[in-house]
Amino acid sequence: MAMTQHKIVFSGPPGAGKTTAIAMLSDTPPVVTDVRNTDAGLSKELTTVGLDFGQADLGNGQCVRLFGTPGQLRFDFMWRIIATDALGLVILLDNTRPDPLDDFATYLDAYADLLPTINCAVGIGRTGECALPTVDQFSSLLAERGLAFPVLPVDVRRREDVLMLVDTVLIQAEMRT
Amino acid sequence: MNEMTSLSTLTTTLLHPARQTAQALFAEVDGARAVVIATADGFDLAHAGHQTIDPARLAAMVSSVSALGDAASRETGIGTPRYLVIESSDGRLVVRCMQVQQQALVAVVLTDKSVTLGFVLSHLAQAEQLMNAA
Amino acid sequence: MSRDAATAPQVKRELRLHLQNLNDNDLAKVNAFLRIGGERLQCDWTVVFDGEFEVLMRGSDERGDVQGTAGGPAATVCLADAGTGQHDAVEALARPLQYEALLDALSALEQRIASTPALRAVPRAFPPDARFRLLRWPSADLLQGDRDRQRLASFLLTRLVGLDELARLSHVGKPQCMEFLVLLATTGTLDIAAADAVPATVTARAEPQANHQEMDAHHFASIRHGLGLTWR
């Protein structure tokens, strides 16, 4: 039986939790393309330079393929490639980074052509450690661009939080059928 | 999102050998248009050549290609990749995955299609040896 | 990493003060005091005489019906002559109206309104067979981390949807859906259209890049089931 495949892409700056989020949903340990980080300004030992890949078999001949994009700006060419024909895009942000709103704007710019057509949700991580910017400020940034997507505080180490983001993507897709 | 970066100390020690190697590869490989040597996480250390390219972007791209090649190699149990070749209608990108002084690097030579592939592969292998000896 | 709250942009919420049965002197004072003391208040207060509002200020002699509300005003300030009895108002101020007294009363109401979702202007009844669509994602205060509200808001993002359809798709009861729609309507971010109408304010999303339109409700149900999404 032919397998019906759906693609959901997780994007966002380094350390926002893309690989973790995919691992929360993937049936098997995700394929990662992490290499040793040489950027002294990024406090991570490893960094993704290709993509992350996971898969959730839904049964009944359906599966969801989960892709994670590399976070650094120099890999922005990968963002568009990976997001092509995706059922949905989840943008994960880290509220402890120096300028999360600027991070968000970067991704909104990068995906500007896709956003009118793609189902999208935004997850703001580590809001407990850093309360500002507020979740509402991210919504306002979307509104300034004439966009409206779910913006939710999340902990990607909690499967139910990742599922909530995916559910809001599925809801948007469902409403457009 | 600002990406002002500072390479790790180990990487900066490779800058000079990388420049020498890039220039040598470009000089020795007839038909070479450009050479880029990059870190495995996509920073260009050195480049040489007459074709106008963006070495930073090419460095990022070949690091992605290399990483995907590594993932596919692991997935299929065939070890670690040495070369990746992108044969296109008007040229060829030959990528060598290197280990230089405990640092993973990626070297790419952009050539005409007329250049013998084995010739390029051989020079890339020599380049890795020379960098390790430096 | 800590953030400096003072550097965050300050966006004031707007609150509407409906004035009823105030004499010219009281009206002038209210306007003057709001103009002078506006910086002290957390919200931007606007004086209105009709339409929707959050707070009613009325002279003590009249109750009367207040146009444009359903079920009563959100909160009331009663302006009474000194020495008269208190009325069943949330706040009572004595004439002659004093600057500090007015600002203190409004400031207290700001706190109550912010913390009590029910104390908001109730919109006019929705048109029959009305359909709804959100113009922007609701505030965290309104959603309160509630999964049902987050899901309902998601259903309202891409196109107009009626109450029945919203309840059916979300598996959330109609009364709860209606309560949420009423709350959304008070924020001014809910587009409301009569049946079959396509409001000019709605910006329809472009066609999806991939052909996902062939998927139906069964597909999405099976995706949710496969992922373990079981809200209901």
Question: Could you read off the pLDDT of A3-21 as tens digits, one per residue?
Answer: 678 899 999 999 999 999 9
Whether A177 has its CB under 8 Å from any CB of chain C: the answer is yes
Domain residues for B114? Answer: 20-133
By C-alpha distance, the chain C residue nearest A145 is C136
What is the least distance, in Å, from the CA of A177 to any CA of chain B? 35
> Is C232 among the domain residues?
no
Contact B62, B45 (CB under 8 A): no
Domain residues for C87? Answer: 5-115
Q: Is the pLDDT of residue C20 over 90?
A: no
Average pLDDT over residues C189-217: 61
Taking residue B30's Cβ as centre, other Cβ atoms within 10 Å add up to: 12
Q: Please tell me the distance from the alpha carbon of residue C103 to that of residue A104, in angstroms, as a whole number.
A: 38
pLDDT at C200: 40
Q: Are B40 and A49 within 8 A, CB to CB? A: yes
Stretch among A12-16, A44-48, B72-76 having the lowest mean pLDDT: A44-48
Q: Please tell me the distance from the alpha carbon of residue B125 to that of residue B119, in angstroms, as a whole number.
A: 10
Q: Please tell me the distance from the alpha carbon of residue B99 to that of residue B131, in angstroms, as a whole number.
A: 9
Q: Is the pLDDT of residue A56 over 60?
A: yes
Number of domains in chain C: 2
- The model's confidence at residue C204, banded by pLDDT at 50, 70 and 90, is very low
> Is B74 among the domain residues?
yes
Three-state DSSP at A163 gives helix
Stretch among A58-72, B52-66, C45-59 having the lowest mean pLDDT: C45-59
C62, with CB counted inside 10 A (0-12, 13-18, 19+), is exposed
A56, with CB counted inside 10 A (0-12, 13-18, 19+), is buried
Q: Which residues of C95-133 are buried (b: 16+ CB within 10 A; e: fewer)?
A: bebeeebbbebbeebbeebeeeeebbbbbeebeeebbbb
The answer to whether the bond into A98 is cis (omega within 30° of 0) is no
Q: Please tell me the distance from the alpha carbon of residue B38 to that of residue B47, in angstroms, as a whole number.
A: 9
Whether A43 has its CB under 8 Å from any CB of chain C: the answer is no
Number of domains in chain B: 1
pLDDT at C142: 92
pLDDT at C6: 41
What is the least distance, in Å, from the CA of A95 to any CA of chain B? 13
Residue bearing the bigger pLDDT, C31 or C51: C31
Whether C216 has its CB under 8 Å from any CB of chain A: the answer is yes
> Is B102 among the domain residues?
yes
> Is C125 among the domain residues?
no
Average pLDDT, rounded, for chain A: 92
CATH code for the domain of C103: 3.40.50.2300
- How do strand B32-39 and strand A151-154 relate by DSSP bridges? unpaired
pLDDT at C217: 78
CATH code for the domain of B81: 3.30.450.30
> Is B82 among the domain residues?
yes
pLDDT in tens, C49-102: 777 788 888 886 555 544 434 445 567 788 887 766 544 445 688 888 999 999
Sign of CA dihedral A53, A58, A61, A62: negative
Q: Are B6 and A40 within 8 A, CB to CB? A: yes
> Is C220 among the domain residues?
yes
What is the least distance, in Å, from the CA of A85 to any CA of chain B? 20
Q: Please state the ipTM of this predicted complex.
A: 0.93
What is the DSSP annotation of C160-204? -EEHHHHHHHHT--HHHHHHHHHHHHHHT-EEEE-TT---TT--P
pLDDT at C202: 40
Chain C residues lying within 8 Å of A58, measured CB to CB: 222-223, 225-227
pLDDT at C207: 47
> Is B7 among the domain residues?
no
Average pLDDT over residues C38-42: 88
pLDDT at C3: 39
Q: Please tell me the distance from the alpha carbon of residue B29 to that of residue B27, in angstroms, as a whole number.
A: 6
Number of residues that this document lists for chain B: 134
pLDDT in tens, B79-117: 999 999 999 999 999 999 999 988 999 999 999 999 999
Does C208 lie in the same domain as C146?
yes
Q: Phi-psi bin for A36: left (phi > 0), alpha (psi -120 to 50), beta?
A: beta
> Is B26 among the domain residues?
yes
What is the DSSP annotation of A131-147? --S-HHHHHHHHHHTT-
Residue bearing the bigger pLDDT, B69 or B12: B69
By C-alpha distance, the chain A residue nearest B74 is A31
- The model's confidence at residue B47, banded by pLDDT at 50, 70 and 90, is very high
Q: Please tell me the distance from the alpha carbon of residue A167 to that of residue A172, in angstroms, as a whole number.
A: 9
Chain B residues lying within 8 Å of A77, measured CB to CB: 57, 60-61
- How do strand A119-125 and strand A88-94 relate by DSSP bridges? parallel
> Is B100 among the domain residues?
yes
Whether C204 has its CB under 8 Å from any CB of chain A: the answer is no
Interface test with A, best of C2, C152, C154 (most A CBs within 10 A): C154
Q: Which residues of B48-68 are buried (b: 16+ CB within 10 A; e: fewer)?
A: bbeeeeebebbbbbbbbbbbb
Residues 50-89 of A with CB under 8 A from C: 56-60, 62, 64, 84-87
> Is B54 among the domain residues?
yes
Stretch among B21-35, C33-47, C118-132 having the lowest mean pLDDT: C118-132
- The model's confidence at residue B3, banded by pLDDT at 50, 70 and 90, is low
Last residue of a domain, one of C66, C85, C115: C115
Q: Is the pLDDT of residue B19 over 50?
A: yes
Does C141 lie in the same domain as C111?
no
What is the least distance, in Å, from the CA of B30 to any CA of chain A? 30
Q: What percentage of chain C exceeds 70 in pLDDT?
A: 70
Contact A98, A45 (CB under 8 A): no
Sign of CA dihedral A29, A86, C156, C223: negative
Whether A132 has its CB under 8 Å from any CB of chain C: the answer is yes
C169, with CB counted inside 10 A (0-12, 13-18, 19+), is middle
- The model's confidence at residue A129, banded by pLDDT at 50, 70 and 90, is very high
Chain A residues lying within 8 Å of B56, measured CB to CB: 74
Helix, strand, coil content of chain C in percent (nearest 5):
35, 15, 45
- The model's confidence at residue C216, banded by pLDDT at 50, 70 and 90, is confident
Domains of chain A by residue range: 4-175
- Residue A7 Cα distances to A22, A62, A152, angstroms: 12, 11, 21
pLDDT at A2: 57
pLDDT at A167: 95
> Is C122 among the domain residues?
no
> Is B8 among the domain residues?
no
pLDDT at C201: 40
Q: Which two tokens stand for residue C6?
A: 């003072």
Residue bearing the bigger pLDDT, C147 or C7: C147
Q: What percentage of chain B exceeds 90 in pLDDT?
A: 78
- The model's confidence at residue C4, banded by pLDDT at 50, 70 and 90, is very low
What is the least distance, in Å, from the CA of C27 to any CA of chain A? 35
Q: Are B64 and A33 within 8 A, CB to CB? A: yes
Q: Please tell me the distance from the alpha carbon of residue A57 to that of residue A38, in angstroms, as a whole number.
A: 36
Does C156 lie in the same domain as C61?
no
- Residue A44 Cα distances to A15, A35, B10, C61, angstroms: 8, 11, 16, 69
Q: Are A50 and B40 within 8 A, CB to CB? A: no
Average pLDDT, rounded, for chain B: 91
Does C105 lie in the same domain as C185?
no
Q: Cα–Cα–Cα angle for B47, B51, B52, nearest 5°?
A: 80
Q: Are B67 and A50 within 8 A, CB to CB? A: yes
Q: What percentage of chain C exceeds 90 in pLDDT?
A: 30
Fold of A4-175: Rossmann fold (3.40.50)
Q: Please tell me the distance from the alpha carbon of residue B53 to that of residue B24, in angstroms, as a whole number.
A: 18
